Amino acid sequence: MKWYFSNDAPIYAQLIGQIRRGIVSGVFPPGERLPSVRELATEAGVNPNTMQRAMAELERDGLVYSQRTAGRFVTEDRGRIDDFRRRLAAEHVRRFLEDMEQLGFSRGEILSLLPQATRKEGDAHGDPGM
Amino acid sequence: MKWYFSNDAPIYAQLIGQIRRGIVSGVFPPGERLPSVRELATEAGVNPNTMQRAMAELERDGLVYSQRTAGRFVTEDRGRIDDFRRRLAAEHVRRFLEDMEQLGFSRGEILSLLPQATRKEGDAHGDPGM
Amino acid sequence: MKWYFSNDAPIYAQLIGQIRRGIVSGVFPPGERLPSVRELATEAGVNPNTMQRAMAELERDGLVYSQRTAGRFVTEDRGRIDDFRRRLAAEHVRRFLEDMEQLGFSRGEILSLLPQATRKEGDAHGDPGM
Amino acid sequence: MKWYFSNDAPIYAQLIGQIRRGIVSGVFPPGERLPSVRELATEAGVNPNTMQRAMAELERDGLVYSQRTAGRFVTEDRGRIDDFRRRLAAEHVRRFLEDMEQLGFSRGEILSLLPQATRKEGDAHGDPGM
DNA sequence: GTGGTCTAGACCACC
DNA sequence: GTGGTCTAGACCACA
């Protein structure tokens, strides 16, 4: 697992995002045991407490569960994982459409604009803001 | 102008976003004089310092300019405005595609998924994360 | 506010319980500003981080909300507060009945046993266990 | 005997509770020989050490006693068992009343509220806290 | 001054 | 060794 962080969001939140993405995309398969918090923390180069916080949140979301002394595991509930994937996607879509409409793009324009978007779109700079 | 704020981003950033959007979408037409910082601040219900900070940033971006005595004006440079609009849009697109790909959606899936997205696509909860 | 802690549960959890109780029972009325985390922490004799954690959880439950720099406030949503009161009560009832039934008490016995229970029930010792 | 565990309490404590309940409710009658620690452990799916610890505690409470060679037995002292049952019940009652009063319920309200509590009284979520 | 985040380091219960 | 909790102390953005 490769870890990278920006400075426009708290590290623990970025950890959540990256791990969640790992689960949702199958890097961490359902039911699999995750490395210990300490391991993950050193691997990611963050403080164990920070990693612990991320894990706690993932646990609250039901994506992972901890077994008292055995370690932490990805949920076996594939439905839940898939549900999450869909929810995250839907949220991305919603935000995207909202953002574009606020810039004055119609649905039609958006749809026609999207396919031509290729890798490395150019010099867009940083956070487009809210 | 209607102002509204969430608590998941600094006020000044939300101000920037909303004013920029006003300019880009024509609510504040090119060359038009903006209300004073004080006026805008009370109208938006924020601290004048905060509004001032937002204005300073918009000035840096060249979307507004201030004339010592007469006040602050939207740039007359329509090209610049339109450029900004495109840049913001491109950045939104880039991020959106990146996010979706990280969730394991292919370009094709994204394109086919988007049109059916209608208003209020389910209650995805909160920030989809980075 | 009087703070007291046992050692059979994490402090942060006890903080949550006590503050929640304060909100639900009206010690902290709806809409009222709470003392700062630092204040509460010193008052309760705990580390600010611990109090912060408790607050974060109360916020997640929607019982309090924080306004970026102004401080933290009890929700104005009396319905939510009352809802919580009922939920907590229902949960207490559920657990109580479950516990008693597991000891072999019938509903009738429980009901007839309850009224005679008076203050200072005697030398019951500690946690009755699960 | 059916064993089940939650993850909000140590396994050994849950074992104690369940076995004690078995004794108090007659599943393990007075004087009966208990299965060996090893047997019980495999049956419950826990580490023998953990089961051993639970047994030790039950012995301390005088609910079971071990006879060097023959194994472990439930106490024949029905008085002690019944005493225990009453003590546990009293403690449950005390806690319940205390909890409810802290939520602002009067004795009268509690008594009138209890009988209508039927199976599955709504989905209160998780630990009602201390 | 407020909330929020992060680190470092420690201790504990559990198995 | 595992997860969990707590403290102490620091720094930051925000208004």
Query: Which of chain C's residues 27-46 bind strand E, using a 7 Å CB cutoff?
Result: 34, 36-39
Cβ A69 to strand E below 7 Å: yes
Examine the pLDDT at C94 and tell me if it is beyond 60: yes
For residue C62, give how far its alpha carbon lies from the nearest alpha carbon of chain B (Å): 14
When the pLDDT of each residue in chain D is averaged and rounded to a whole number, the result is 84
Q: Dihedrals φ, ψ of D108, to 5°? A: -60, -50
The mean-pLDDT minimum among A112-116, B82-86, C30-34 falls in A112-116
Chain D residues touching C9 at Cβ < 8 A: 130
Please report, rounded to whole angstroms, the spatial distance between the CA atom of protein residue C28 and the C1' atom of nucleotide F3: 34
Share of chain A above pLDDT 70, in %: 88
Per-residue burial over D70-100, b if 16 or more Cβ lie within 10 Å, else e, is eebbbbeeeeebeebbebbbbbbbbbbbebb
Cβ A8 to strand E below 7 Å: no
pLDDT band for position C127 (cuts 50, 70, 90): low
pLDDT band for position D3 (cuts 50, 70, 90): confident
- Tokens 């209607």 locate to B2
Across the interface, whether the CB atoms of C13 and D129 are under 8 A apart is answered: yes
The mean-pLDDT minimum among B55-59, B111-115, C50-54, D119-123 falls in D119-123
pLDDT band for position C60 (cuts 50, 70, 90): very high
Across the interface, whether the CB atoms of C21 and D102 are under 8 A apart is answered: yes
Per-residue burial over A73-102, b if 16 or more Cβ lie within 10 Å, else e, is bbbeeeeebeebbebbbbbbbbbbbebbeb
Report the pLDDT averaged over residues C9-31. 92
Nearest to B61 by CA among B88, B27, B93, B28: B88
Examine the pLDDT at B118 and tell me if it is beyond 60: no
- Which runs of consecutive H residues, i.e. helices, occur in chain D? 11-24, 37-44, 48-60, 78-102, 107-113
Please tell me the predicted confidence (pLDDT) of residue B78.
92
Nearest to C23 by CA among C1, C43, C39, C7: C1
pLDDT band for position B121 (cuts 50, 70, 90): very low
Residue D74 pairs in a beta bridge with D64
Cβ(D40)–Cβ(D51) below 8 Å = yes
pLDDT band for position C33 (cuts 50, 70, 90): very high
More confident residue, D49 or B114: D49
Examine the pLDDT at A128 and tell me if it is beyond 60: no
Examine the pLDDT at B130 and tell me if it is beyond 50: yes
Please tell me the predicted confidence (pLDDT) of residue B53.
92
Cβ A64 to strand E below 7 Å: no
Chain C residues touching B7 at Cβ < 8 A: 65-68
Examine the pLDDT at B84 and tell me if it is beyond 70: yes
Q: Which residue of C has its CA nearest to D4?
A: C130
Report the pLDDT averaged over residues D29-42. 91
CA–CA separation, B57 vs A129, rounded Å? Answer: 12
pTM of the model: 0.85
The mean-pLDDT minimum among A72-76, A93-97, A115-119, B63-67 falls in A115-119
Examine the pLDDT at B129 and tell me if it is beyond 80: no
Report the pLDDT averaged over residues C21-34. 93
When the pLDDT of each residue in chain C is averaged and rounded to a whole number, the result is 86
The encoded tokens of residue A100 equal: 């574009």
Examine the pLDDT at B119 and tell me if it is beyond 50: no
Share of chain B above pLDDT 90, in %: 28
Residues contacting D45, CB < 8 A, separation 6+: D3
Cβ(D95)–Cβ(C95) below 8 Å = no
Q: Which amino acid is at C44?
A: A
pLDDT band for position B109 (cuts 50, 70, 90): confident
In angstroms and rounded to an integer, the radius of gyration of the C-alpha atoms of chain C is 18
pLDDT in tens, D61-102: 889 999 888 889 999 999 999 988 888 898 899 889 988 988
Other chains touching D, judged by 3 or more CB pairs under 8 Å: A, C
**Closest CA-bearing residue to C1' of F7:** C47
Q: Do chains B and D touch, with touching meaning 3 or more CB–CB pairs less than 8 Å apart?
A: no
Q: Which residue of D has its CA nearest to A60?
A: D126
Question: How many residue pairs bridge chain A and chain D with CB atoms within 8 Å of each other?
Answer: 6
pLDDT band for position A82 (cuts 50, 70, 90): very high
pLDDT in tens, A19-75: 999 999 889 999 999 999 999 999 999 999 999 999 999 999 999 999 888 899 999
Q: Find which nucleotide's C1' atom is closest to C67's CA.
A: E3
Chain D residues touching A67 at Cβ < 8 A: 7
Cβ(D80)–Cβ(D63) below 8 Å = yes
Report the pLDDT averaged over residues A71-86. 94
Please report, rounded to whole angstroms, the spatial distance between the CA atom of protein residue D50 and the C1' atom of nucleotide E15: 7
Q: Which nucleotides of F are covered by protein (CB under 7 A)?
A: 1-10, 13-15
Q: Which residue of C has its CA nearest to D112?
A: C111
The mean-pLDDT minimum among C70-84, C115-129, D57-71 falls in C115-129
- Which runs of consecutive H residues, i.e. helices, occur in chain A? 11-24, 37-44, 48-60, 78-102, 107-113
